[in-house]
Amino acid sequence: MYSPQVLDHFQNPRNVGEVANPDVKVRIENPACGDILELTAKMDGGKFSEVRFRAKGCVSAMACSSLLTEMTVGKTLEDAKTTSKEGLVREIGGLLPASGHAAQLAMDGLHALLEEATRGK
For 50-66, how does the pLDDT look when each residue is reduced to its tens digit (9 = 90+)?
999 999 999 999 999 99
Q: pLDDT > 70: what percent of the chain?
A: 98
pLDDT digits (tens, 9 = 90+) for 83-109: 999 999 999 999 988 898 999 999 999
pLDDT for the residue numbered 105 = 95
Let me know: does 88 contact 107? Beta carbons within 8 Å: yes
Element holding 41 (H helix, E strand): strand 36-44
pLDDT bucket at 81, cuts 50 / 70 / 90? very high
Let me know: does 16 contact 54? Beta carbons within 8 Å: yes
For the residues 12-19, what does the mean pLDDT come to?
Answer: 97
The conformational region for residue 58 under phi > 0 = left, psi -120 to 50 = alpha, else beta, is beta
Give the up-direction half-sphere exposure of residue 29: CA atoms within 13 A in the CB hemisphere.
3
For the residues 25-29, what does the mean pLDDT come to?
Answer: 96
pLDDT for the residue numbered 52 = 98
Let me know: does 2 contact 99? Beta carbons within 8 Å: no
pLDDT at residue 121 tops 60: no
